[in-house]
Amino acid sequence: MLCLSEILLQHHELQTFEELVGVVESRARGGELFFQMDVRPPFPDTPESWEDRLEAAFAAAGKPR
């Protein structure tokens, strides 16, 4: 299971929410099946709907083409 806190610990270089979305998509394409949003992203540009955005990015990127 992929945890958001794990991504944030592994990717200290992330500066924006959009960069985080890219990493989530990449991990989903890499075969992760489950995603847990256990912390709020600490970026100033994190939208109020951050959970929906990350869930949608993970689900869309993980779909087979």
What pTM was computed for the model?
0.92
Q: Where are the domains of the chain?
A: 2-62
Cβ contacts of 29-33, under 8 Å, gap ≥ 24: 29/61, 29/62, 32/1, 32/2, 32/58, 32/62, 33/1, 33/62
Q: What is the pLDDT of residues 22-44, one digit of tens each?
A: 999 999 999 999 999 999 999 99
Q: Is residue 50 pLDDT above 70, yes or no?
A: yes
